[in-house]
């Protein structure tokens, strides 16, 4: 079955809507508790990487939804429950981070997995206008769609068609089948600047790697519902022994939107052939007791990332991560 999927998936994996058509199987694992609940209960979520120190201290969490087609980020419970993917942006400090006066950021995406969502995805996300869709679905023995491995849908790293579903599209000649996180100060690329696209005033943090949370990666037919990004480490610049207040922008993008329209007040400048799925700003300051206080806001993106994804994904070495920033 995996071999069959690998051969046919070249047609499927050209955009996010085609990637996340992950629809049910006959025997599904129990629905996992909310991500924050897993953290609070200390449940071992079998994260392969990064460090096992993650989530020992969570300072701030912002929940959000990823919808298709993309729409403005709302705060209503109805919008979150109706999202294609549920997400959490977490800001946290481990014991190591507290010693080095740094903090970390990551994004977790979870696919709703109840029967209502399975039916919704089958009926509303089948994309019947594309004739090749009938050739690329993976079915179980009862002719129901398997849930795809969510990290395989999102990651840019790994062997094409083997450790991820994406790869070079034979028609377009490019590989933009990935989601990525980019973090930089919101004003690092001023409007109207003459900087080359992808060359802001300092190198942003960036990664297109995603890891399983609820299971180990096995193969393309493994059922994995939760994917987590790399940890990004921020080291605030000291000033007289105290950290200054600071602010960072966080962009979650997908690199191919398959010509889907963006919200009207979204940045018109694309991200490769895709766009921004969600945008946040993280601010921090020192409290009166000497600790660090964080605030996370879900916002309309003020601009595109300004990053040259095509160059980043094809240069030598390709997909080079930057996971640390001095701010």
Q: Which of the 8 DSSP states describes residue 216? A: -
Per residue in 97-139, pLDDT tens? Answer: 888 889 999 999 998 888 777 666 666 666 666 555 555 556 6
pTM of this structure: 0.77
Instruction: Please say if the pLDDT value at position 191 is more than 50.
Output: no
Confidence of residue 211 (pLDDT cuts 50, 70, 90): very high
pLDDT, tens only, 257-305: 877 888 888 998 989 999 999 999 999 988 777 778 899 999 999 999 9
Closest CA to 272 of 137, 157, 194, 182: 182
pLDDT at 22 over 90: no
Domain boundaries in the chain?
A: 2-326
How far is C-alpha 85 from the chain's CA centre?
10
d(CA 126, CA 133): 8
| Distance separating alpha carbons of residues 220 and 153, to the nearest angstrom | 9
Close Cβ partners of 19 (under 8 Å, ≥ 6 residues apart): 12, 13, 148, 153, 154, 165, 166, 177
With vertex at residue 317, the alpha carbon angle to CA 314 and CA 320, rounded to the nearest 5 degrees, is 90
pLDDT at 9 over 50: no
φ, ψ for residue 121, nearest 5 deg: -65, -40
Instruction: Write the pLDDT tens digit of every residue in 74-97.
Output: 555 556 667 889 999 999 988 888
Span 132-174, pLDDT tens digits: 555 555 666 676 666 778 898 899 999 988 888 888 877 778 8
């Amino acid at each position: 079955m995996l071999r069959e999927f690998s051969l046919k998936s070249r047609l499927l994996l050209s955009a996010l809507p085609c990637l996340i058509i992950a629809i049910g199987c006959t025997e599904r694992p129990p629905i996992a508790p909310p991500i924050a609940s897993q953290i609070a209960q200390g449940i071992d979520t079998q994260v392969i990487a990064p460090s096992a120190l993650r989530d020992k201290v969570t300072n701030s969490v912002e929940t959000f939804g990823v919808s298709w087609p993309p729409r403005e980020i709302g705060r209503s419970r109805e919008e979150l429950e109706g999202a294609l993917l549920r997400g959490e942006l977490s800001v946290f400090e481990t014991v190591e981070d507290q010693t080095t006066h740094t903090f970390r950021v990551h994004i977790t995406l979870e696919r709703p997995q109840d029967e209502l969502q399975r039916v919704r995805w089958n009926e509303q996300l089948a994309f019947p206008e594309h004739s090749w869709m009938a050739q690329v679905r993976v079915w179980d023995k009862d002719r129901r769609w398997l849930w795809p491995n969510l990290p395989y849908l999102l990651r840019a790293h790994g062997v094409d068609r083997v450790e991820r579903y994406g790869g070079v599209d034979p028609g377009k000649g490019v590989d933009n089948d990935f989601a990525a996180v980019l973090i930089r100060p919101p004003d690092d690329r001023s409007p109207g600047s003459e900087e080359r696209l992808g060359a802001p005033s300092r190198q942003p943090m960036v990664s297109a790697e995603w890891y399983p949370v609820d299971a180990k990666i096995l193969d393309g037919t493994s059922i994995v519902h939760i994917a987590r990004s790399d940890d990004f480490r921020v080291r605030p610049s000291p000033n007289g022994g105290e950290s200054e207040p600071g602010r960072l922008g966080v962009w979650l993008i997908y690199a191919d939107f398959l010509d889907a329209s963006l919200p009207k007040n979204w940045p018109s400048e694309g991200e490769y052939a895709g766009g921004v799925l969600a945008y946040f700003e993280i601010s921090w300051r020192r409290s009166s007791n000497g600790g660090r206080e964080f605030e996370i806001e879900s916002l309309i993106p003020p601009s595109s990332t300004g990053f040259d994804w095509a160059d980043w994904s094809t240069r030598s070495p390709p997909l080079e991560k930057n996971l640390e920033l001095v701010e």
